[in-house]
Amino acid sequence: MATSTTKALTGEEPPAPPGTADGGKTARRRSALLHRLDVKGAPFAFVAPFFIVFAAFSFYPLVYTSWISLHDVELATLDVMEWVAFDNYVELWGDSRFWNALWNTVTIGVISTVPQLMMALGLAHLLNYRMRASLFFRVASLVPYATSVAAAALVFTMIFERDFGMINWALGSVGIDPVDWEADKWPAQVAISTIVIWRWTGYNALLYLAAMQAIPAERYEAASLDGASRWKQFTHVTVPGIRSTIVFTIVLSTIGATQLFGEPLIFGQGPNGVTGGADNQYQTLGLLLYEEGWKNYQMGRSATVAWAMFMLLVLVFAAQRLIKRLRSRTS
């Protein structure tokens, strides 16, 4: 194999065997060409499936979405497009629903991400100890993640139901007035965050656990020799040891929070889910996109929301980069 490759690359032709004359020569030449294609082309062929699928299902929709967002177009009549340039973006900027949805996305994002990552960290720390049936607990912490959003959200919707839900029943038994979880702003946002926290805490805990197990045991030994308590060990050895994983989970959670959609949609159910409550009290950007596209059938405006969401993410990460650079310069 190796020798034939060098020959093919240098273009050196071995003498044709007598009798075959020209036919043999072209056959060899063809096989050399195929060979060269094989060596040079095969890697591209191997990676091609991903890029073709990416082009068809990610890049093309992205470009097409930006094209649509510059038009006034309805779902029922997709072939009738009216060019409006950046009107949709200007309108979105001045639309109170957009700012409301953006703010809701931020608040729900914060009240779901912060406790979630903290709890995951604690859970991972506990799982990291030697204990009985640790495998069971590790698998158990992944079960919520494996549950579908729809199923989880439906169950939580019943638990948080106003008149006959479990939580209001429990509150009532200790003499607290029932809470209208769906209709009031903060209770609704807390309820939705609960679903998110329940689903993702175990997943993040396992990521942390994997990182924690890579921390050399000697560091803990040294720390305990120095007389550091378990808590001191956690803050001074564990957390610095898994810093990069923490950053990674924050990035993942931020993307997840920006795209939050299924939980509030099912929590509200029907027309209320699409608008994020009668008062839009828990409408996220994802829901606003859905409302514009699949309830009002305004594809242009829907695509504009999609692009605004994308640009927001870019903005967030640019800001994060900038802060990081500034900080390293000052330190």
Tell the smallest beta-carbon distance from residue 161 to other proteins (Å): 6
| Nearer to other proteins among residue 51 and residue 317 (C-beta) | 51
| Nearer to other proteins among residue 75 and residue 110 (C-beta) | 75
| Nearer to other proteins among residue 86 and residue 294 (C-beta) | 294
Tell the smallest beta-carbon distance from residue 108 to other proteins (Å): 19
| Nearer to other proteins among residue 47 and residue 319 (C-beta) | 47
| Nearer to other proteins among residue 257 and residue 274 (C-beta) | 274
List phi, psi (to 5°) of 293. Answer: -85, -45
Exposed, middle or buried, 10 (CB in 10 Å: 0-12/13-18/19+)? exposed
Tell the smallest beta-carbon distance from residue 299 to other proteins (Å): 10
| Nearer to other proteins among residue 46 and residue 129 (C-beta) | 46
Tell the smallest beta-carbon distance from residue 294 to other proteins (Å): 5
Tell the smallest beta-carbon distance from residue 284 to other proteins (Å): 17
Tell the smallest beta-carbon distance from residue 16 to other proteins (Å): 20
| Nearer to other proteins among residue 224 and residue 272 (C-beta) | 272
Tell the smallest beta-carbon distance from residue 75 to other proteins (Å): 5
List phi, psi (to 5°) of 77. Answer: -130, 65
Neighbours of 129 (CB within 10 A): 8
Tell me which residues touch other proteins (CB under 8 A): 1, 4, 34-35, 38, 41-42, 45-46, 48-49, 52-53, 56, 75-79, 95, 97, 157-158, 161-164, 180, 182-184, 269-272, 275, 278-279, 294-297
Tell the smallest beta-carbon distance from residue 244 to other proteins (Å): 34
| Nearer to other proteins among residue 54 and residue 317 (C-beta) | 54
Query: Both tokens of residue 239?
Result: 């957390």
